[in-house]
Homo-oligomer: A and B are copies of this chain.
Amino acid sequence: MISIIILGSGNVAKHLFDTFLGQNEINILQVIGRNKDHLSYFKSKVEVSNDFNTIQDADLYLIAVSDDAIPEVAKTLRGKKGIVAHCSGSVPLKALDPINRRAVFYPLQSFSAGKKIDFKSVPICIEAENKNDLNLLEQLGNSISNNVQEVSSEQRKSLHLAAVFVNNFTNHLFHIGHEICEDNDLPFHILLPLIKETVKKLDYITPLNAQTGPARRNDRSTIENHLNQLKTKNNKDIYTLLSKSISEKYRNEL
């Protein structure tokens, strides 16, 4: 049995809480957070507090707050014997207080309010300062996911950067596609089979090999037509830059 205290009450805290709650080998002792309204989500199921002086002893303290707030929350845990792990993609382990047993428990997923996540496939990236602590995090990770990996602070930083490209930026391209559809009385869902196929291909070919379209062929007349169709400078710039980046990548095959 692993005893856990969650510090934080936002999206990541809620998703982890909901998932841990269903596990026999995990005992959530408290959820601690500054925001009383957010704490109401947890209070029927576990002890909650917005007083950081009431924090009990536990095997593991999970800091699930915004990156900026991690050092401050970590300070409230000085003197605790349990492992202190944050859940951030971009903050190094060393940002935690060296007086504690420092660790990281980073679920690589984009959490939205109100949308349940099946953790089984979520990669859990763990890091710790010694083997015992790493084992405990691995045990915790394995209880909710089939995909637990040791990832260094340096690697995690890169992973977070890559995630911005494949999630944040990709989603913004979906938004531009959505706008183009709306402007032309087309339902956005007409693009969904294409989007789903784009992703399905990644299971068996690299994105480098999967690339198609006018930019790969350096088809200047289609590219010019598309640029003429776009209405905002922003979208023209995005089209131009991404097309250039693709064309350069495949220059040698033309």
Contact = CB atoms under 8 A, between A and B. Distances in A.
Interface of A: 67, 90, 108-110, 112, 115, 117, 121-123, 147, 149, 151, 154-155, 157-178, 180-181, 183-186, 188, 190-199, 201-208, 210-216, 219, 222, 225-226, 229-230, 234, 237-239, 241-242, 244-246, 248-249
B174 A202 contact: yes
Contact of A173 (B173, B176, B213): B173
Which of A110, A147, A157 counts the most B-chain CB atoms under 10 A from its CB?
A110
A167 B112 contact: no
B165 A112 contact: no
A162 to B, nearest CB: 4
A173 B166 contact: yes
Contacts of A248: 234
A148 to B, nearest CB: 11
A184 B238 CA distance: 27
Which of A147, A166, A211, A219 counts the most B-chain CB atoms under 10 A from its CB?
A166
A114 B239 CA distance: 29
Contact of A238 (B112, B123, B176, B242): B242
B172 A245 contact: yes
A172 B242 contact: yes
Contact of A229 (B157, B206, B234): B157
B192 A202 contact: yes
Contacts of A176: 162, 165
B190 A122 contact: no
Contact of A198 (B108, B167, B194, B222): B167
Given A162-B180, A170-B170, A234-B244, 4 more contacts: A147-B190, A159-B184, A165-B174, A168-B214
Contact of A166 (B163, B166, B191, B230): B191
B212 A167 contact: yes
Contact of A230 (B161, B188, B213): B161
Contacts of A193: 108-109, 121-123, 147
Nearest to A216: B168
A246 to B, nearest CB: 5
B155 A213 contact: no
A226 B164 contact: yes
Contacts of A241: 237-238, 241
